[in-house]
Chain A
Amino acid sequence: MPLDTSAYSLALLRVDGRRWNELRRIHAQIRTQAAADGSSYLEMGHTKVMCVVNGPSEPGPRRGATSGGGSGGGQSKNAEVAVNIVIAGFSSVDRKRRGRGDKHILELQSTISQALAASLHTHLFPHSTINISLHVLSQDGSLLAALINAATLACVDAGIPMTDYVAACTAGSTSTYAANDEGADPLLDMNHQEEQELPGLTVATLGDSDRVAVLVCESRVQVSRLEGMLAVGVDGCKQVREILDRVVREKGIKMIQEGTVERGVGLNDMELD
């Protein structure tokens, strides 16, 4: 079903009733799987993903490697971030079968792996691997952004040191490339329908700063529109970061309340001396 972009200029509302600068509902949980080191569940609108982090841990004996009592000096000094994405067959409207070597999934995996490897303090864990397993349960646009956010939350839950959250969201433009409309408004957080028709990009930033960690644009868009899209995207990332931060904080406070973790020195207490 083609997206009726002509209606936007009348009421300035998008197909799902949002304005140009509104995020969809973001709901997130951490520590959803007791057996894993870290886990999270994240919904951005109808895009639903689940993440499980295992590690950092040293992989057991490698198959084919000679067990000659080597000191393992050949292994890297930094932890490797291995990302594995599974897209459930029922996640989208058309039941597409994606194989293991699907190029689209491989690209998502390497993008997330590189973005997280840059933020995580991998130098603290030599010869080890951080396994991030992502499961897509439902797709409605902004898939890469949702995956990055879920992976960040799960890494926080796993207690892996990191520079800052990597928060991601998407931004688009109100009219198609072909329309060549100079006055097109940028859009925040695109859903599936919008992603099909309109130009868009995924942007992830490092925490509160304006440092862009991931920028993926797979559609044609006039360069004059790009700046606006990017600005809206970066600002959206900051909102996403606050939401993720709140999820982590609430979980932490709940744990202190339950007595699982004893209270530390509050920052305000330290000021006394």
Chain B
Amino acid sequence: MPITILPPKAFRDQPPRHSLNHDSDDVMSDATSDSEDSDSQPGGVSLDGGATIHPRKRHRSGAGAAASSTFTKRPKTNAAINSIPRSAIVTPGERITTDPQWMRGHGTYLSSASLGEQAITSSLAGIVTRTNKLLSVRPLRARYTPEVGDLVVGRIVEVQAKRWRVDVGSTQLAALPLSAINLPGGILRKRTETDELQIRTFFAEGDLVVAEVQQLFQDGGAVLHTRSLKYGKLRNGVFMAVSGTGGGGGVVRSRRQVWTLESANNGGPIDVILGVNGYVWISKHVEPVVPEEAKGQTGITNLEEVVSATMYSSQNDRIEPETMREIARIRGVVTALVENGLRVDEDMVTKGYNEAVELALVSADGPEDVYLGGERGEQLAAALTAV
């Protein structure tokens, strides 16, 4: 069987991807996912040339480019699943526009398209967003990027002379200066050298804190503060890490990140803290204890004073088994939400929890059953999305 094979020419003379594509397309189409094959190509093997398989059209850097369309248009292929065009997302190296009226934002960079022409190019796989004349690409998934005012849950990883270094799931460790915490013995006390020497008595390595982002450095590092009764050391609960704001489900910024949930089955009140960075803390709700002698005196400063004495304790309170079970159930709800790609916020967690309690009632093990993985999780997610 004679097969003529052309010898390769010098690369410059070849039109881009022509000599190779003919035979290799059937090899390549194996790599396409099932959804694409089943939707549009019945045989699963494409006999077409490269053009339909690769909908990317190169931007023409001709003279008429500026006058005509300024966006690289890609034809909508029928390969796109359920009417979401492939242009819904951009991938690294994809030209977004060469039009100079747009400014480039996060997730993009300028590349030279042709002589003297700069193209805004995506550097991420994500979706294009537009704020007035600013084009940016939001990634499908990325690490948390701190913003001033965010409520975060973090873990102390390092103790330095005048500050702690806190892991908040960002690209850099956040700093928590000694001057930015509520020191015991009265609010707004100046820090002293004694405090510096006792720095480990406030927070030590491995402690969990809830804090707020106070300030950002130029390079993206964050400075935290815990100067409120809402913030401080975390006890009596369970920690979990899900993906945070910045991509792909998980915790979203919302009106309320912290709330107390009245649990079912005699569990008592339970605090849920959803850190914007995707770290979640679920704990037993403990009312601040005010000793008898302090009751007579009034004033908010006194309350602060009394509370701050127990603030840096690492000793857990007694937690009833019922409470523990409900904490575990809430944790299961959050995990199920994340696994099924749903957002995690107050509304969803509360609804999901109520749904989970209902699910447990009909399960064989009764209300003690907190398992929410696998099919149960899917059932839960389906119930939530149906509403």
Bitwise, A205-238 to B at CB < 8 A (1) or not (0) is: 0111010000000000000000110111011101
Out of B3, B11, B30, B35, name the residue touching A12 (CB < 8 Å): B3
- Say yes or no: A159 contacts B140, CB within 8 Å: yes
Q: Which residues of A are found within 8 Å of B167, using beta-carbon distances?
A: 60
- Say yes or no: B20 contacts A188, CB within 8 Å: yes
For A261, the closest partner residue in chain B by CB is: B140
- Say yes or no: A235 contacts B85, CB within 8 Å: no
- Say yes or no: B27 contacts A256, CB within 8 Å: no
- Complex CA distance for A12 and B171, rounded to whole angstroms: 52
Q: Which residues of B contact A (CB under 8 A)?
A: 1, 3, 5, 7-11, 14, 16-17, 19-21, 23-24, 27-28, 30-33, 35-36, 53-54, 56, 58, 69, 71-74, 80-82, 84-93, 96-97, 107, 109, 111, 123-130, 138-143, 157-163, 165, 167, 170-173, 219-220, 246-249, 341-342
Segment touching B, from A14-22, A81-89, A94-102, A109-117: A14-22
A239 and B28 in contact, given A69-B160, A128-B172 (Cβ under 8 angstroms): yes
- Say yes or no: A125 contacts B171, CB within 8 Å: yes
Q: What are 24 A-B residue pairs whose CB atoms fall within 8 Å in the complex?
A: A22-B24, A22-B27, A61-B157, A156-B92, A159-B124, A159-B125, A159-B139, A159-B247, A185-B5, A185-B7, A206-B93, A238-B16, A238-B17, A245-B56, A249-B91, A252-B88, A253-B88, A257-B81, A257-B84, A262-B127, A265-B127, A265-B130, A266-B88, A270-B128
A159 and B126 in contact, given A56-B143, A255-B341 (Cβ under 8 angstroms): yes
- How many chain A residues touch B (Cβ–Cβ < 8 Å)? 88
Ordered nearest first, which 8 A-B pairs have the shortest CB separation?
A264-B127, A159-B142, A164-B93, A69-B161, A159-B139, A231-B11, A252-B89, A161-B123
Query: Is A64 at the interface (CB under 8 A from chain B)?
Result: no
The winner among B11, B58, B97 for most chain A CB atoms within 10 A is B11
**Which A residues from 1 to 59 make CB contacts under 8 A with B?**
11-12, 18-28, 31, 37-38, 55-58
Q: Which residues of B are found within 8 Å of A56, using beta-carbon distances?
A: 143, 171
- Say yes or no: A163 contacts B124, CB within 8 Å: no
- Complex CA distance for A25 and B219, rounded to whole angstroms: 43
Q: Which residues of A are found within 8 Å of B140, using beta-carbon distances?
A: 157, 159, 251-252, 255, 261
For B85, the closest partner residue in chain A by CB is: A266
- Say yes or no: A253 contacts B89, CB within 8 Å: yes
Out of A28, A163, A208, A210, name the residue touching B11 (CB < 8 Å): A210
- Complex CA distance for A208 and B73, rounded to whole angstroms: 17
- Say yes or no: A67 contacts B160, CB within 8 Å: yes
Q: Which residues of B are found within 8 Å of A25, using beta-carbon distances?
A: 27, 30-31
- Say yes or no: B173 contacts A58, CB within 8 Å: yes
Out of B14, B69, B139, B341, name the residue touching A271 (CB < 8 Å): B69
For A124, the closest partner residue in chain B by CB is: B220
- Say yes or no: A265 contacts B157, CB within 8 Å: no
- Say yes or no: B142 contacts A253, CB within 8 Å: no
Q: Which residues of A are found within 8 Å of B111, using beta-carbon distances?
A: 163
Instruction: Taking A161-B123, A251-B140 as given, write out 15 further A-B residue pairs in contact, using a Cβ cutoff of 8 Å, ordered by the A residue number.
Output: A55-B171, A161-B92, A235-B11, A235-B20, A239-B21, A242-B53, A245-B91, A253-B89, A254-B35, A254-B81, A261-B138, A263-B88, A264-B127, A264-B129, A270-B128
- Say yes or no: A267 contacts B87, CB within 8 Å: yes
- Say yes or no: A161 contacts B124, CB within 8 Å: yes
Query: Is A74 at the interface (CB under 8 A from chain B)?
Result: no
The winner among B84, B91, B109, B163 for most chain A CB atoms within 10 A is B91
- Say yes or no: A231 contacts B123, CB within 8 Å: no
Q: Which residues of A are found within 8 Å of B125, using beta-carbon distances?
A: 156-157, 159, 248-249, 252
Query: Is A162 at the interface (CB under 8 A from chain B)?
Result: yes
- Say yes or no: B21 contacts A264, CB within 8 Å: no
- Complex CA distance for A249 and B28, rounded to whole angstroms: 16
The winner among A121, A162, A246 for most chain B CB atoms within 10 A is A246
> Could you tell me the distance in whole angstroms from the C-beta of B234 to the nearest C-beta in chain A?
20
A58 and B85 in contact, given A231-B10, A239-B20, A251-B140 (Cβ under 8 angstroms): no
